[in-house]
């Protein structure tokens, strides 16, 4: 029974992360509904084996990041650098939310700090359910008010066009990817040393960096579009 609960919650957990990733960047969800459900089911089973069967929970989140990137690249067909960027942004945002909820619950005495070392139980379930429901609410608000960033071209992307990864705008994305990878890796180190507050600061800072680069990229795209429109207007 405990395993079934873990798998079911794991599906909703993976869905929450993926929905947040897609809504942060205005990518439609229903169009890829079946693929998303299958992937969430796969991630839940993968996480169960990593944490419960093999007992290597420290590798779960970093490997999940890789799997999310591969899913976005090959199933949603988003270019690899965008996939790595938006996956990193979404996962660090979700991790930040979970840690803030954990910190609030421990601060008011509802759960004990030992929950950091647990894979199941009522305390873990409380954090997961609160995080999942909060994420769904945030994603709904993003959709309702048409919020989020539009820096990612609507998939499927054209992969025959060669990408200049050293361009100014792509360098910013790559910097954010590196920061996200560092944060996700550091999460494991700090989490198992009960450094929750430090981890919250690192995770939130990482998300803020990704948010900043998303904002800058969107502003850059807007300026580029306006300049091209002015040039076209003058030419006519």
Residue ranges of domains in the chain: 2-235
Task: Look at the block and give the residue holding tokens 């048409």.
Answer: 146
Q: What are 165-207's pLDDT values in tens digits?
A: 677 777 878 888 888 888 888 777 776 665 667 777 888 888 8
Report the 10 Å Cβ neighbour count for 98: 21
From CA 13, how far away is CA 6, in angstroms rounded?
Answer: 10
pLDDT digits (tens, 9 = 90+) for 116-169: 767 778 888 999 999 999 999 999 999 999 898 888 889 988 887 777 767 777
Closest C-alpha among 60, 51, 13, 44 to residue 185: 60
Would the pTM of this model clear 0.95, i.e. be above it?
A: no
Number of helices and strands in the chain (H, E):
7, 0
């Amino acid at each position: 029974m405990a395993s079934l609960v873990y798998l079911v919650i794991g599906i909703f957990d993976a869905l929450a992360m993926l929905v947040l990733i897609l809504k942060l960047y205005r990518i439609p969800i229903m169009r890829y509904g079946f693929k998303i459900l299958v992937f969430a089911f796969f991630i839940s089973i993968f996480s169960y084996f990593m944490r419960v069967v093999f007992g290597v929970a420290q590798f779960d989140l970093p490997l999940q990041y890789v799997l999310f990137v591969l899913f976005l690249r090959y199933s949603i067909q988003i270019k690899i650098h965008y996939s790595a960027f938006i996956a990193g942004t979404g996962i660090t945002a979700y991790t930040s939310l979970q840690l803030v909820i954990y910190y609030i619950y421990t601060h008011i005495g509802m759960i004990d700090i030992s929950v950091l070392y647990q894979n199941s139980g009522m305390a873990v379930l409380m954090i997961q359910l609160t995080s999942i429901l909060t994420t769904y609410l945030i994603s709904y608000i993003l959709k309702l008010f048409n919020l989020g960033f539009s820096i990612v071209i609507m998939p499927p992307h054209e992969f025959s066009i060669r990408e200049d990864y050293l361009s100014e705008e792509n360098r910013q994305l790559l910097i954010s990817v590196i920061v996200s990878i560092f944060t996700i890796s550091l999460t494991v180190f700090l989490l198992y040393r009960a450094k929750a507050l430090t981890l919250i600061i690192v995770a939130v800072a990482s998300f803020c960096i990704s948010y900043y680069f998303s904002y800058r990229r969107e502003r850059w795209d807007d300026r580029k579009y306006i300049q091209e429109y002015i040039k076209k207007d003058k030419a006519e």
